[in-house]
Structure 1
Amino acid sequence: MSSDKDNYWIKSGLINLIQNFSGTILSLAIFFILVRLLDKHDYGVWGLYMQTITILEFIRNGLVQSALIKFMSGSDAKEHNHIFSATLTISGSLTLVCIILNLLFAGYLADALNAPELKPMFYLYNIVFIFSGVLTQINCVEQANLKYVGVFVSNTVRQIILCLFLVVVFFGNMKTDVMTLVWVQIFCTIVGLIISWFYTRKYIHFKYVFSKGWMLRIFHYGKYAFATWVSSILAGTIDQWMLAGIISPVASGAFSIAVRIGNLIDIPTNAVATIVFPQSAKRIETEGKGAIKYLYERSVGIILAMVIPAVIFIYVFDAFFLRLLAGDKYANAVPILNVTLLYCIFGPFGRQFGVIMDSIGKTRVTSFVVILNAVVVLVLNYFLIHRYGVMGAAYSTLIANVFGFIVAQTILHKELRVNAFNALIYAYRFYPEFWNRYIRKRMPESTS
């Protein structure tokens, strides 16, 4: 049994680590090409479009994604059709509502943003929105069965297709526009859906069964996850929006460069969070809260063992990383980068807090903490940006992270007797354990 658990963590962790790393690299590649391929206006329009559709996806997925993974991974197989049908009904209804609202208000939003190109883009996005809803359902089923290869391959192929399209256009000295990019997005989503179905079809023996009880249960669980997701994405964009509004888009751009580098360090956090959620949902049903306490402390420790050396390394070579990714024009963003790097230390504690609390059914608590954190970020940004400029946004988010850490650890200690210091112990032990178990153990085989 111990060997099976080790294999799960190694294989699943490796798959998700590769997915997050490759996804970040491909996103950076897409960013670098797009910013050179499009003029400033078109790139600004594309940025507004991506922000808007990301919020739409979060609104829909926030109600069903966590609920589908949690309930399907922790329930008997005979309930799976009821769960899948209930989430499909909720997701489909939300998709229809969002499409109607999009058709009604896309023109008004485009005019308000002084970007008339957005109106046909939003209309065309309705096609993407339909396919992405089905794709999300299928990916959740795979994750609920503790498998991740399909999600990895699907997401990676989608990004590769877009990246290859941009590479061909860029190096072929051809022209493209934002509407063409939406058409490419439609094609990528359809390809991703086909790939995910290929990997997940063996877990789906679908027969639609309307269950009012499951719909209400999933809705009441998902409504807090919904608030959490929306508050989380707002908390992550408030600083850049306020910088653009209070100072200028140039200030927001400098800050976003530092955030992008921090996102590279967040790769282990995202990877481990993906595999911890279904495991914790299953263990709370079979082993109780003691196992969840260990899962939290151990997972945070493993993440910190990977994050802390990366933070130190980038601190030492901060100017080099900025020049490498953004060029000399952002060299003055080094102080911003040094502050934002500190977020990475607190990030694993906060991300795993949300994962663990959601998995044990405390989504309301997670929602409260995330909303509170978003409010703190908003208030601090308003005052500190006026006082310190761009650095004010960095200070605001750092203070909010420390505040959120204190609140989250207080709740975890009360609920599960979690001790944050234990995570540091697990982080320290990770290095010799990894050496002895996975490197030293295989050295004779490699030399024979």
Structure 2
Amino acid sequence: MAKKYSYWLATGKFSLLQKITNIVLGLLTFMLLARLLAKGEFGVWGLFIIISSMVETTRFALIRNAYIVFKKTKPEKDIPATEFASLSVNITFSLLLCIVFFFLGVYVEGWFKDAAGLSSILTFYAGALLLLIFYSQCEIFFYSQTNFKAVFWMYFLRNGSFALAVCILFFGFHYADIKTLALLYTISIVPGCLVAAYFISKYKKIVYKWDKKIFREYFSFGKYVLGNNFFSLVFVNSDAFMTARSISAGVSTSYNIGSRILNFGDIPSQVFGDIMFPRAAEIVKTGANEDVKRIYEKTVAATLCFLIPFVFFGILLADVAVYILGGQGYLGAANIVRVMLLYSLFLPFIKQFGNIMDVKGRPQVNFWLMFCFAGISITSTYLCITWLGDIGAAVGLLMAYILLFGVSQYILYRFIGVSTIAVFKYIFTLYPEFFKLFKNFYAKKFAR
């Protein structure tokens, strides 16, 4: 049993550890800032976290997916050209975003209601994006090598530094403002860069080479992945954005609390996705659709094995979770969180759909799908806010998730023969296997 899953266990343990520590440190800072900042300021900070997460996720996807696919599928002689293409795209994208945030941050602030101070934070973040060029380039290299240990330490020192700074402000000064937080957020990237430099020095020197053909292929692939991830994040965050737009930034805090809770449920999906993507890219080389189909179904099923109990207990204990995270003043968010937890059940299907489209060389399919559904989610959340008030955005986005799930499953069925029924069959077979795996692990580590 252990041998059967040795690849997944060996590869996934540091990825899992990274996701858990990221979320725990994020929750710690969230809980302290919820009690340190006024509700309006906290709402503005929440909007910044969403925007910065969107930027870093889209930039990472832009360079990572093409980088891994090219390194796994291209001949050895094209690797230097792939390295050059990824670095040049990274630098160009980052510089463009610096210009946007530095000069147009005031317009971003004006789009939301009661979001004073957001433009100042985005000005600081423009500087942070320059540091993140080196950080993200090292990160994709480690992903391609499945060196999740290096990625873990990069994020641990970066997020740990910021969490430590917030703890000092909370316990030492009992005061913080969002400009100071933005500066600390930027400085905290430096420790992550230092540990990245340490780990990358252990590899042989990376060679860069200009190749027009590879660059054009890389950019062509990456532009669809970039657009897909951007519109995916618009889709996922449309509840918080439309609440901040239609009601106020302070009210959108309820959705930030829900997102923090959902992050726990998303850990299995992220971990299995990190492991599956390079593996699927290798399998595609053989052209065996049946193998790609099987890895998709098993990855989604394995993720749901953890998600189903998480959603069940999350709905039961939503009031307790909201109280712990935000305090007494945010208890009204519990029902919103209950609706948001239902999103989690569709995320594994949709996320792995995107990965399969990318490794099969069809990122444009995912791009156009998410482009359409970004518009659908914005429309449905806006209409439901108008009809239902604060909770309307959650209801509207859930409706969009259900529709997206149906469309993506139909496409996968037509494309590689994926069966949604097979996913649920795998769930019933995986539960006993996970139990045996845990039992063997416990016997080996703790039994005498």
2:196 aligned with 1:213: no
**Shift of residue 209, structure 1, vs aligned partner:** 0.8
Which residue of 2 is the match for residue 10 of structure 1?
A: 9
Q: For residues 20 and 281 of structure 2, what CA distance do their matches in structure 1 show?
A: 25
**Shift of residue 103, structure 1, vs aligned partner:** 4.1
Matching residue's letter, 2:394: A
Which residue of 2 is the match for residue 66 of structure 1?
A: 65
Which residue of 1 is the match for residue 82 of structure 2?
A: 83
Q: Residue by residue, what CA displacement relative to the aligned partner does 1:308-335 show, whole Å, maximum 9, x if unpaired? A: 1111122233332233323343334333
Matching residue's letter, 1:23: N
Which residue of 1 is the match for residue 137 of structure 2?
A: 137
Which residue of 2 is the match for residue 230 of structure 1?
A: 230
Q: For residues 344 and 390 of structure 1, what CA distance do their matches in structure 2 show?
A: 20
2:423 aligned with 1:408: no
2:207 alignment partner, SS class: coil
Matching residue's letter, 2:283: R
Q: Is the 8 A contact 2:102 2:123 kept in 1?
A: yes
- List runs of 5+ in structure 2 lacking aligned partners: none
1:389 alignment partner, SS class: helix
Which residue of 2 is the match for residue 352 of structure 1?
A: 352
Identical-pair percentage: 27
**Shift of residue 67, structure 1, vs aligned partner:** 0.9
Change over 3 Å in CA distance of 1:161–1:444 after alignment to 2: closer
Change over 3 Å in CA distance of 1:222–1:421 after alignment to 2: same
Q: Residue by residue, what CA displacement relative to the aligned partner does 1:401-439 show, whole Å, maximum 9, x if unpaired? A: 111111111111111111011111221112211233452
Q: Residue by residue, what CA displacement relative to the aligned partner does 1:51-100 show, whole Å, maximum 9, x if unpaired? A: 44444435544432211122123334432211011111122122233333
**Shift of residue 29, structure 1, vs aligned partner:** 0.8
Q: Is the 8 A contact 1:162 1:185 kept in 2?
A: yes
Which residue of 2 is the match for residue 297 of structure 1?
A: 297
Matching residue's letter, 1:301: A
- More deviation, 432-441/266-275: 432-441
Which residue of 2 is the match for residue 333 of structure 1?
A: 333
Change over 3 Å in CA distance of 1:332–1:127 after alignment to 2: closer
The alignment covers a number of residue pairs equal to 447
2:330 aligned with 1:322: no
**Shift of residue 120, structure 1, vs aligned partner:** 5.4
> What is the alpha-carbon root mean square deviation over aligned residues?
2.6
Q: Is the 8 A contact 1:61 1:136 kept in 2?
A: yes
- List runs of 5+ in structure 1 lacking aligned partners: none
Which residue of 1 is the match for residue 387 of structure 2?
A: 387
Q: For residues 216 and 3 of structure 2, what CA distance do their matches in structure 1 show?
A: 36
Q: Is the 8 A contact 1:70 1:144 kept in 2?
A: no
Q: For residues 199 and 377 of structure 1, what CA distance do their matches in structure 2 show?
A: 41
**Structure 2 length normalisation: TM-score?**
0.91
**Shift of residue 154, structure 1, vs aligned partner:** 0.7
Q: For residues 39 and 437 of structure 2, what CA distance do their matches in structure 1 show?
A: 52
Which residue of 1 is the match for residue 25 of structure 2?
A: 26
1:172 alignment partner, SS class: helix
- More deviation, 354-363/113-122: 113-122
- More deviation, 259-268/228-237: 259-268
Q: For residues 315 and 107 of structure 1, what CA distance do their matches in structure 2 show?
A: 38
- More deviation, 312-321/343-352: 312-321
Q: Is the 8 A contact 2:63 2:140 kept in 1?
A: no
**Shift of residue 3, structure 1, vs aligned partner:** 7.4
Change over 3 Å in CA distance of 1:19–1:127 after alignment to 2: same
**Shift of residue 7, structure 1, vs aligned partner:** 1.9
Q: Is the 8 A contact 1:269 1:348 kept in 2?
A: yes
- More deviation, 340-349/168-177: 168-177
Q: For residues 105 and 314 of structure 2, what CA distance do their matches in structure 1 show?
A: 42
**Shift of residue 108, structure 1, vs aligned partner:** 5.7
Q: Residue by residue, what CA displacement relative to the aligned partner does 1:224-257 show, whole Å, maximum 9, x if unpaired? A: 1111111012112222222233334454223332
**Structure 1 length normalisation: TM-score?**
0.91
Q: Is the 8 A contact 1:139 1:200 kept in 2?
A: no
Q: Is the 8 A contact 2:60 2:136 kept in 1?
A: yes
Change over 3 Å in CA distance of 1:353–1:204 after alignment to 2: farther
Q: Is the 8 A contact 1:336 1:394 kept in 2?
A: yes
- More deviation, 103-112/405-414: 103-112
Change over 3 Å in CA distance of 1:441–1:243 after alignment to 2: closer
**Shift of residue 24, structure 1, vs aligned partner:** 1.2
- More deviation, 376-385/182-191: 182-191
Change over 3 Å in CA distance of 1:3–1:79 after alignment to 2: farther
- More deviation, 405-414/112-121: 112-121
Q: Is the 8 A contact 1:266 1:344 kept in 2?
A: yes
Change over 3 Å in CA distance of 1:106–1:243 after alignment to 2: closer
- More deviation, 97-106/109-118: 109-118
